[in-house]
């Protein structure tokens, strides 16, 4: 099926879907929900308006046939994340794909984008839609307001992949599975949006991570970010400091000193924090027990995992698991 949507504001996309899926709408606790008819498939598309200029759209559906959407956006800044299914974007002659546990960020003005969604597969998708002015609102009294404004301008007309991390996965999972309702849900959602925006700035504006980065060579900063990514990719079997230095093409002194100055913690502290973050994700989202989560993040002794967990979060892992249940 083909669909054309003229989105003249941030909320125009969902309004266009609502007009297309007529007589299938409902509202529950502040969420607007569109139910797919058997002709289109099964499942739903829901929207929560945080306020004018910010909304969260969550799609959970299986389409009966392939869906081509031709969307003309007047002005939008969007962050999206795919939990299940796959889709393709066509923008300015280029094709961009999303797959499971991946996402994109894009900003466009007076432009058309084509979305292709495949049939016969579950499609679970999160979209954070904002006006650029609402993004800037978070920084209106900050010293780096102009830098954020420049970043948004540079992002205009681009589709960039999100850097996957355990922090990002936790944030988007908490949004999709939020148990809050009404105004509390809006507050919870916006706190997660702010967290994700900060993660974006960390990726695309590394100079704001630390003032120390201002006197480092750009090449060294890039290598330190590469080291950070290597750590994230090998949490269950981390490299030694010497191996990490070799893999990131830095000597050990530069790695230790630069990592601390740029990221505010030692390599060891970052490895520990990321392993614990992943442990939280595995227990909270993947429903692993404490021993399984500990083993999955490289702790051969669950008691060592529990001690590190208590030091960081102030409770034992088993208490955390029970509280979430």
Is residue 283 predicted with pLDDT exceeding 90? no
The string of pLDDT tens digits covering residues 160-188 is 888 777 788 888 998 998 888 888 899 99
Residue 23 has pLDDT above 80, yes or no: no
* pLDDT computed for residue 147 by the predictor: 85
CB count within 10 Å of CB 110 equals 8
Q: Which of 66, 96, 93, 64 minimizes the C-alpha distance to 80?
A: 96
Where exactly are the structural domains of the chain?
Answer: 2-162, 211-324
In DSSP notation, 40-78 reads TEEEEEEEEEEETTEEEEEEEEEESS-EEEEEEEEEEEE
- Residue in 213, 215, 99, 239 with CA at minimum distance from that of residue 164: 99
Per-residue pLDDT at 22 exceeds 70: no
Q: How many residues does the chain have?
A: 325
- Cα separation, 289 vs 293, in Å, equals 6
Average confidence (pLDDT) over 136-157 = 86
Highest mean pLDDT among 1-10, 40-49, 282-291, 295-304: 40-49
| pLDDT bracket for residue 324 (50, 70, 90) | low
Architecture per CATH, 211-324: Orthogonal Bundle (1.10)
Instruction: Show the beta-strand stretches assigned E in 64-192.
Output: 67-84, 87-91, 94-98, 102-117, 122-130, 158-161
Identical topology for domains 2-162 and 211-324:
no
Query: Under CATH, what is the fold of the domain 2-162?
Result: Jelly Rolls (2.60.120)
* Model confidence pTM above 0.75: no
Query: From the centroid of its chain, how far is CA 124?
Result: 14
- For 48-83, what is each residue's pLDDT tens digit? 999 999 999 999 999 999 999 999 999 999 999 999
| Residues forming beta bridges with residue 79, ordered by sequence position | 105, 128
Quote the pLDDT of residue 312. Answer: 82
């Amino acid at each position: 099926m083909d669909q054309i949507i003229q989105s003249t504001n941030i909320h125009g996309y969902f309004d266009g879907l609502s007009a297309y899926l007529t007589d299938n709408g409902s509202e529950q606790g502040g969420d607007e929900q569109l139910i797919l008819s058997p002709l289109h498939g099964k499942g739903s598309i829901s929207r929560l308006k945080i306020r004018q200029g910010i909304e969260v759209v969550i799609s959970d559906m299986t389409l009966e046939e392939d869906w081509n959407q031709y969307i003309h956006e007047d002005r939008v800044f969007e962050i999206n994340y795919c939990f299940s299914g796959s889709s393709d974007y066509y923008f300015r002659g280029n094709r961009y794909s999303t797959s499971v546990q991946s996402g994109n960020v894009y900003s466009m003005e007076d432009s058309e984008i084509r979305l292709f969604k495949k049939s016969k597969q579950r499609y679970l998708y999160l979209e954070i839609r904002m006006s650029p002015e609402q993004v800037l609102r978070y920084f209106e009294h900050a010293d780096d307001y102009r830098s954020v404004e420049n970043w948004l301008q540079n992002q205009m007309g681009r589709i960039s992949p999100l850097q996957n991390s355990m922090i990002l996965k936790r944030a988007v999972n908490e949004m999709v599975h939020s148990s809050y309702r009404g105004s509390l849900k809006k507050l919870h959602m916006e706190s997660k949006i702010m967290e994700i925006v900060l993660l974006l700035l960390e990726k695309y504006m590394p100079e704001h991570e630390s003032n120390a980065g201002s006197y480092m060579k750009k090449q060294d900063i890039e290598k330190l970010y590469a080291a950070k990514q290597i750590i994230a990719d090998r949490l269950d079997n981390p490299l030694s400091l010497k191996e990490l230095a070799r893999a990131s093409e830095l000597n050990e002194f530069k790695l230790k000193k630069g990592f601390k100055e740029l990221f505010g913690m030692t390599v060891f502290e970052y490895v520990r924090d990321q392993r614990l973050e992943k442990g939280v994700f595995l227990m909270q989202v993947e429903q692993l027990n404490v021993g399984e989560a500990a083993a999955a993040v490289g702790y051969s002794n669950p008691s060592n995992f529990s001690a590190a967990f208590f030091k960081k979060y102030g409770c034992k892992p088993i208490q955390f698991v029970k509280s979430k249940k």
